[in-house]
Structure 1
Amino acid sequence: MLSEKSTETVRATLPAVGAAIGDIAELFYAKLFAAHPALLRDLFNRGNQNSGAQKQALAGSIAAFATHLLAHPGTRPDVMLNRIAHKHASLGITREQYEVVHHHLFEAIAEILGEAVTPEVAKAWDEVYWLMAGALVAIEDRLYAQRRVLAGDVWRDWRIAARFEETADCATFHLVPADGAPAPAFAPGQYVSVQVELPDGARQIRQYSLSRSPGSAVRAITVKRVHGPAAAGPDGEVSHHLHTRVRTGDTLRVSAPYGDLVLRDSGAPVLLASAGIGCTPMLSMLEHLADTGHTAPVTVLHADRSPADHALRGDHRSLTHKLPDASARFWYEADAEPGDSHGRLDLTDVPVAPGTTAYLCGPLPFMRAARAQLLAKGVRAADIHYEVFGPDLWLAAG
């Protein structure tokens, strides 16, 4: 809980800090990477840094945390904190790194806001930072303990047991632990971090959802290759590396599974909506529902550019057919086949069972539209869950 004195100071200065938080975040990262270039090379996503998405997410999360402390004293924004903590755990973040971030962040705050940062203001925002950092460290320590790993020691070598070309742009990699030990358990919907060494020596990391059921003997990720101008820069460097250089028999560094978007085994009706490569966590959930004999209604929805671009399309259909009360509907912007729909996801004539729990994964505009349509159909906001690939700008903005 924020102290009474700091609450007054943060309330008075939040508009100014909020207005400058984007500039603060930009200067913070410049200072951080100048002092610790290895962090940009081997930990932070260079694509998100290049696009500005990571700066926006950091700025939004700090502002959102401070706003929550003022609006709801004595509580924490646990949804936001849990999502960040799972991502940090998959990267092997340690509590010592929060000290490094604090140093450069508060240097940036002082430089951007100048004389407005009095000792009282600095102390109040220092309290905000450590309340947020302390909460994250506590969650991350618990996540490490659950995986029985030392803090930050989440990496293992995995061997590519098989590789399959799903579409022209998507490949599936079947993974087995290189040491022959059992693969760690995971919950349907979770992801792993994959670290690759690029030609310039950088060890870049990206997250990929596990696309098979936890009950399967196979651990699999399906990777979509980034095309266009972004592929020549950091935005697509890891997907390009995996597609062009990684083959059966090769070894990858893979983290323990993490992620807070997981299927709840409640027996309630389920709706799985995805777009593009967002189908991967949905397929893990769908296969788990089939494996466990789920009997309540299941609605499977997917939107894509065309049937040829729809990765794991056959699995999407076959797994749906394994369930006793399930239906699948696909939307394509081009080349829709008989029985499919043309255009973008439209729930107007899609029946949604009462008490449905919905899971969404795909580009942010898609999830915003899907969520709005589900709310209009009477699905409770608390029953709509989502996954964002990359920095969660939706949550930070909210």
Structure 2
Amino acid sequence: MLSEPSAVTVRATLPVVGAAIGEITERFYAGLFAAHPELLRDLFNRGNQAAGTQRQALAGSIAAFATHLVEHPDERPDAMLSRIAHKHASLGVAPEQYGVVHEHLFAAIVEVLGDAVTAEVAAAWDEVYWLMANALIAIEKRLYEENADDGSLRPWVVTGRVEETEDVASFRIRPADGAPLPDFRAGQYVSVGVELPDGARQIRQYSLSGAPGAPERRISVKRVRADEGTGAPCPEGEVSGHLHAHVREGSVLEVSAPYGDLVLDDTDAPLLIASAGIGVTPMIAMLEQLTLAGHKAPVTVVHADRSPAEHALRAEHERLAGELPDAETHFWYERPEPGHPAERTGPADLSDVTVRPGTHAYLCGPLPFMRAVRTQLLAKGVPARDIHYEVFGPDLWLARG
């Protein structure tokens, strides 16, 4: 993929660029938003920008992509690219925006690295950028075509609201124009756009928490408190707070087509479906899909939460697992009810959980939870290729190694 001269240059300069990538991405976003303030107001997540998590995710993805190019020249990191492309498509990212990003990213590289950016170095990293950008553009084009989508959000009306817990509310929604519901796969999400009091139009992604085929769609939204969300410090959630405070039956939301690559494989293999906190939402959709499909193979359901009262959709979680012919549930709580098993108190620990040969695992929740569960599954012999995950917010998995 990467030309040999560029591969030699990238390999030689990767340590220097990698060491400076955090500063480069910080300068990049500062320059981008100074030139295009509408992008911060109406496209980028202002909370992630304030917390610095988006910079970390961008730095991690660039470094990971470049490293992959030089270490595996005949392969493309499609899993990473697919996850990014689905998120971009849900936001309506257009091909021409990659040129804007290129302009400000390379200005930041020159600003940070100075004379080290020779013509040869600039050309090599330019090739890296456009290999990644063009791959994303192609994947996003295919996603738009598959969804018959032009990338815009459309009005959906809220037909019902349910308070699941003190901090989680579910909203049932339908297209405001009466159009047929777009199809989706269990585990996918939609983008939801709202106009905030300062005039900003902010967009967030929320998993669809019901199976395809229902007469309506449902999203379940956790109100993000300060220092919650991705495991990194973050401000109060602007959009989740707005939805909780202002959206009721009859409200209209701007909603995207469904996207996301954490979807169930068409397999009869044993499954392990693990979640923590609000990461339960795509797993509820998966369990409902499995029950409707008459899935016969073993299913292990794992969930970790602060307390039973904070376990959103808990009754539905238990019911759906109970409707499967060969399923077992394991719930861990930091503050359990009286009588809860002592060995299920605290963080999820799979030590005494049977993981059958051939298991495919699906994980969703805070990054530390998913890292811990993945490590335990690998130790139990589950191949890395059979462990799939979804991160709410910027994907910091690569950024943290």
Say yes or no: TM over 0.5: yes
Instruction: Give 1:395's match in structure 2, choosing from 365, 379, 398.
Output: 398
Give 1:269-288 correspondences, 5 Å limit.
269-288=270-289
Per the alignment, residue 51 of structure 1 pairs with 51
Aligned positions of 1:3-82 closer than 5 A: 3-82=3-82
**Deviation per CA, 1:22-55, whole angstroms, max 9, x where unpaired?**
1000000000000000000000000110010000
Structure 2: gaps of 5 or more residues: none
Q: 1:193 aligns with which of 176, 191, 194?
A: 191
CA displacement 1:291-334 (0-9 Å, x = unmatched): 11000001111000000000000000010111111111111000
Conserved? CA contact 1:215–1:288, under 8 Å: no
Where in structure 2 are the equivalents of 1:328-339 lying within 5 Å? 328-339=329-340
* 1:395, distance to aligned residue in structure 2 (A): 3.1
CA distance in 2: counterparts of 1:112 and 1:187, whole angstroms = 43
- Kindly provide the amino acid, as one letter, of the partner of residue 380 in structure 2: K
For 1:171 and 1:137, the matched residues in 2 are separated by 35
Show CA shifts across 1:321-373 (max 9, x none): 11111111111000335355211111111111221111000101101111111
Distance 1:51 1:327 in 2: 38
CA drift of 1:396 comes to 4.1
SS in 2 for 1:393: coil
Once residues 200 and 154 of structure 1 are traced to their aligned partners in structure 2, the CA distance between those partners, rounded to angstroms, is 22
User: Relative to structure 2, which stretch is displaced further, 208-217 or 82-91?
Assistant: 208-217
Correspondence for 2:358 among 343, 355, 358: 355
Verify the 8 A CA contact 2:188 2:260 in the aligned structure 1: yes
Structure 1 counterpart of 2:389, from 383, 386, 390: 386
Gaps of 5+ in 1: none
Q: Distance in 2 between matches of 1:179 and 1:310?
A: 34
Tell me which residue corresponds to 2:290: 289
Give the alignment's TM-score, normalised by structure 2. 0.96
Aligned CA distance change for structure 1 residues 306 and 234 (closer, same or farther; 3 Å): closer
- Tell me, in whole angstroms, the C-alpha distance in 1 between the residues paired with 2:227 and 2:392: 19
Letter in 2 for 1:321: G
| Deviation of the 1:109 alpha carbon | 0.5
- Written as runs of structure 1 = structure 2, the 5 A alignment for 1:304-343 is 304-340=305-341, 341-343=344-346
- The number of equivalent residue pairs is 396
Q: What whole-Å deviation, never above 9, does each CA across 1:237-290 have from its counterpart, x for those lacking one?
A: 111000000000000000100001101121111111100000001110000000
Contact 1:157 1:251 in 2 (8 A): yes
- 1:147 counterpart residue number: 147
> Cα RMSD (Å) of the superposition?
1.5
Counterpart in 2 of 1:374? 377
C-alpha separation in 2, matches of 1:342 and 1:235: 28
How big is the shift at 1:148? 1.0
**Contact 1:169/1:224 (8 A) holds in 2:** yes
Q: Give per-residue Cα distances to partners, 1:96-123, cap 9 Å, x unaligned.
A: 0000000001111111100111111111
Residue correspondence of structure 1 range 226-245 to structure 2 within 5 A: 226-228=224-226, 235-245=236-246
Structure 2 letter corresponding to 1:166: E
3-state SS of 2:177 partner: coil
* Shift in alpha-carbon separation, 1:262–1:230, aligned structure 2, 3 A: closer
Residue 375 of structure 1: how far off its partner (Å): 1.3
Give the TM-score normalised by the residue count of structure 1. 0.97
Which residue does 2:179 correspond to in 1? 181
Matched position secondary structure for 2:47: helix
Letter in 2 for 1:293: G
1:224 paired residue number: 222
Amino acid aligned to 1:172 = S
Q: Which deviates more, 371-380 or 130-139?
A: 371-380
What CA deviation, in whole Å up to 9, does each residue of 1:198-247 have, x standing for no partner?
Answer: 0000001111000001122221010001224779x854111100000000
One-letter identity of the residue aligned with 1:218: E
Q: Distance in 2 between matches of 1:190 and 1:5?
A: 40
% identical equivalent positions: 68
